[in-house]
Structures are given as C-alpha cells and as structure tokens.
Amino acid sequence: MAGKGGLTKLEVGVLSPEQQEKLRQFKIKTRIENEKYLRSHPEVEVLVGDFLRDVLLKRPADIREFAADHFNNPSLCADVSFKMEGNSIMD
C-alpha cells in the first residue's frame, strides 16, 4: 500500500523469491557504492554536518530559504577546505 510518504506496508508475496534476492543484492551493491563514494569524498560529511549543525542551532522558520542561503554562501568552499585541513571555524 502506498502512503503519503511512500510505501508504508509491504504485501506478502508481491515479489517472487528470485525478485527478492535480486532486490537484496541490488541494495547491498548500492550501499557498498555509496560507502565508497562517501569515503572518497570526505567533504560531503563536512558539508552536511555543518548544515545540520546550523539548522539545529538556528532553527530557521523557512528551512528551504535557509538551505538556499547556506549552500550559496560565497565562502562555503573556502570554509570546507579550511575544515578539511584539520582546522575548525567557529561562528
């Protein structure tokens, strides 16, 4: 059954055993690929971590506007590079 946020309940027997195994293998492969990507791009952790930190500290009323401003900050690239070198920036 599809709910507002996507699938809420899977019906038993919708997928054949072969399809279930293919889906399981696809999920495993995808998780491995995602992990490899994130390990080769540690800046993603800095970007997401800083964004979440700012959201939780500032609790903006308009999260979309806040996100747009955050990721369009002209100093974002320099800030991330600075942090990647083992430094930290305190606001």
Are 1 and 8 contacting, i.e. CB atoms less than 8 angstroms apart?
yes
Does the pTM surpass 0.85? The reply is no
Beta strands in 1-91 (DSSP E): 2-3, 6-7
Look up residue 29 and give its DSSP letter.
Answer: H
Return the SS3 of 91.
coil
34-52 pLDDT tens trace:
999 999 999 999 999 999 9
Whether the predicted pLDDT of 55 surpasses 60: yes
Model confidence at 8: pLDDT above 80 = no
